[in-house]
Chain A
């Protein structure tokens, strides 16, 4: 059974609203980033893959198993939902044990895996702590531990770093990278930095359509030679904003350091700079998916 996810012509609508439009994707072992703004269709796609939503049409196979075979898919997938929580009055070990039973693990398997996973996510010393007493970062780590409790081939993680402080975010990303060594990890996020730091392969989704899929390098190549920076007065800023896609700004007294996208040299004083994933993402968003890049 090959560790891959194949999606062909996937469609999903909520009433008249089309959440996914003919999505085609192939996801292989390793970290895969799904990038898109809020409301782009990321959660819908994650839920279809986790069997928590039924598709309208198209084909989805997870490790060769059609997604319609929900009980088989659930054996090989782990899911960390966007709004992760557990019974607050349960202790960490107890909550893991409960979910372990629901995953079909035997008593021996639970005894072996739960302490091992708690150590891995650095929560071993909190095994007796009630879930309600955990910090946001600890809860996310617990979320990862519960999602890989049954050693799934596919781990689906929906917006996991929202609300985490920078240190926790880095720790969490590293944890995901470690886990991705021997399985597929799909990281859905609207935070470009998360994808940039961890994913080899990414897709950008907007309004239910895949705008890009490929490696980070390929994404960066879209804006190679198109990223400029300049220091301009505040008066000039409005003109630049109306003419170019501004990807970042830093105010310095009466001046503003601005980074923007342009196809040719925009004006004297503007200098080329290295493209980042955020620039490429903004470039794609500017195109609003009219010309998908595969």
Chain B
């Protein structure tokens, strides 16, 4: 009975419009983010830049100060201050007094007066590629790291919450491209340890995870509410099938149908790697499957489980709201470790680069624990959903209809 019901649930999902909207969203998102994916070729000595091969990981206080001060000078020069108070960019307009105060801070950090900034920026980009290297400014002699942080704290106060001038952001924003040796090492990790496809599939998981953390809840809530909308609940409740079979087959069908387009799309980076035809690389042809199952599946399981539980419990679309909040919080907290390595307990672990295998290897145990946790949590939520369903089958916890109407209206029984 379970497998037949599973097949029927899959067929129902395929026939729903919302499911095809989900598939379209996946395809569009994939195309916009990864559609024209460029496969790295081995770095050549003497290249203009090694920007594509990753960034230095051994960041010094000097790096933080030069990059941070450069960011502030750049913002001052273009009078363009941006903050991220709730995750999204917000342009901040400073008063004349505040601008003067920023100018004072810049002078303390760099010794540059406002009328000297333009010349300094121009001089810097005569020597550096504007695409590959962010503006760095020469610091005033003798400036200590503590003094720097003190000035930057003041700048952060002036610009407002979510600015780039807090210590955490200053550290996170240092992105200094590797040199040739670093590029060779990173490329070697990508091709030898990651089998090339591993890195690109991980990047795929990073991007697709962002929408898989929210989209499945729409399909799930719609499917769960369909029984109520179609007044099918009593017909199903009165049937022989156990609650475990009804809910379990539905859950499995939703998970499989959500993963199906993901599996197909995830094979495309592997195809790109094969097409690139880079010599001497031993491709991992099954990386897509490993990453889909290990990285994305627990996430999809969790989102669907939350969707089923909330919808079954409330018989409303509350699940969409709950999941949106969870998704947003997860997205915002994930920004700090966006380049991978620090996965924590985030629903959507981030690794927004095909490189940084070392970070992946370091954080692997945490990532594995994270994914196992969400898989187990999903099954626990499913078990809870089954319990709720079983209670409702016996007339408890039902919110609408004639029966619950009895509680409110003592006349109609």
Q: Which residues of A contact B (CB under 8 A)?
A: 14-17, 19, 38-41, 43-44, 47, 50-54, 70-71, 74-75, 77-79, 81-89, 97-99, 101-104, 107, 146, 150, 208
Contacts and interface: CB of A to CB of B under 8 A. Distances in A.
B232 A71 contact: no
A79 to B, nearest CB: 4
Given A51-B393, A79-B234, 15 more contacts: A44-B403, A47-B403, A52-B395, A53-B403, A54-B394, A75-B240, A78-B238, A79-B235, A85-B230, A86-B232, A87-B12, A87-B232, A99-B236, A102-B1, A102-B239
B241 interface: yes
Contact of B230 (A38, A71, A88, A97): A88
A208 B240 contact: no
A81 B402 CA distance: 11
A56 to B, nearest CB: 11
Interface string B230-257: 1110111111111000100000000000
B230 A102 contact: no
B238 A85 contact: no
A208 B413 CA distance: 8
B275 interface: no
Interface string B385-410: 00000000111100001110011001
Secondary structure type dominating chain A contacts = loop
A52 B406 CA distance: 15
B365 interface: no
B350 to A, nearest CB: 39
B240 A83 contact: no
Contact of B232 (A39, A74, A85): A85
A104 B1 contact: yes
B246 A85 contact: no
Contacts of A51: 238, 393-394
B235 A146 contact: yes
A148 B348 CA distance: 48
Contacts of A103: 239-241
Most B C-beta atoms less than 10 A away, residue of A14, A39, A208: A14
A74 B239 contact: yes
Q: How large is the interface on B (under 10, 10 to 19, 20 to 34, 35 or more residues)?
A: 20 to 34
A275 B412 CA distance: 30
B1 A17 contact: no
B5 interface: yes
Contacts of B15: 89
Contacts of B290: none
Nearest to B394: A54
A53 B231 CA distance: 17
Contact of B412 (A39, A75, A77, A102): A39
Most A C-beta atoms less than 10 A away, residue of B231, B240, B401, B413: B413
A71 B242 contact: yes
Nearest to B226: A87
Interface string B206-240: 00000000000000000000100011101111111
B95 interface: no
Contacts of B393: 51-52, 70
Contacts of A39: 411-413
A81 B238 CA distance: 10
18 contacts: A14-B403, A14-B406, A14-B413, A39-B412, A40-B413, A44-B413, A51-B393, A52-B394, A53-B394, A53-B403, A54-B394, A79-B234, A83-B231, A86-B230, A86-B232, A102-B236, A103-B240, A103-B241
A19 B406 contact: yes
A207 to B, nearest CB: 8
B238 A74 contact: yes
Shortest Cβ-Cβ A-B pairs, 8 listed: A53-B395, A102-B239, A14-B406, A85-B231, A79-B238, A81-B234, A17-B410, A39-B412
B90 interface: no
A83 B231 CA distance: 7
A50 B238 contact: yes
B113 interface: no
Contact of A74 (B240, B403, B410): B240
B95 to A, nearest CB: 60
Nearest to B245: A102
Contact of A54 (B8, B230, B241, B395): B395
Interface string B66-104: 000000000000000000000000000000000000000
Contacts of B8: 97-98, 101
A16 B395 contact: no
B4 interface: yes
A70 B86 CA distance: 51
A53 B395 CA distance: 4
Given A17-B410, A39-B411, A47-B403, A99 B1 contact: no
A236 B238 CA distance: 53
Contacts of A14: 403, 406-407, 410, 413
B388 to A, nearest CB: 15
Contacts of B412: 38-39
A82 B402 contact: yes
Nearest to B401: A83
A81 to B, nearest CB: 4
Contacts of A208: 413
Contacts of B234: 50, 52, 79, 81
A189 to B, nearest CB: 15
B394 A81 contact: no
